[in-house]
């Protein structure tokens, strides 16, 4: 997961150490703010740590009025296994350049625990 603050209409690779590991990941989702100043990118197998929470985002969405980034994180069910799929909905506020990002608690998410139960099957 990478958040890019675009200062110019053109983006590109700024620096590389020619390490092959850099090229082995696929972009799984992408979203931008309406003004185009912020781009969030989910990268396959990329683990994100924000405020002590660690997760792997699989889907991203921006909430323009509140400047929040909504993410679905988790793992799909695996063929041949009886384990249920795991998913978690997270909301990050403070995605503006002036603020530090904060993962909202379940009770602070717009729609609260009831919305989480609908989206992910349980609030926990």
Q: Is the full-model pTM beyond 0.75? A: no
Per-residue model confidence (pLDDT) at position 15: 47
Which residue, chain included where needed, has tokens 């919305």? 115
Per-residue model confidence (pLDDT) at position 85: 62
**pLDDT tens for residues 28-80?**
677 777 776 677 777 766 666 766 667 777 778 887 777 788 887 776 555 66
38 contacts: CB under 8 Å, gap ≥ 6:
3, 4, 5, 6, 32, 62, 95, 96, 97
């Amino acid at each position: 997961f990478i958040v890019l603050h675009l200062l110019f209409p053109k983006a590109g690779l700024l620096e590389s150490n020619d390490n092959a590991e850099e090229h082995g990941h696929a972009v799984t989702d992408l979203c931008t703010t309406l003004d185009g100043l912020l781009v969030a990118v989910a990268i396959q197998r990329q683990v994100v740590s924000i405020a002590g929470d660690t997760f792997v985002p699989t889907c991203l969405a921006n909430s323009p009025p509140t400047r929040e980034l909504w993410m679905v994180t988790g793992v799909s069910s695996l063929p041949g296994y009886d384990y249920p799929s795991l998913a978690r909905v997270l909301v990050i506020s403070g995605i503006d350049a002036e603020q530090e990002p904060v993962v909202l608690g379940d009770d602070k998410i717009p729609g609260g625990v009831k919305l989480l139960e609908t989206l992910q099957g349980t609030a926990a």
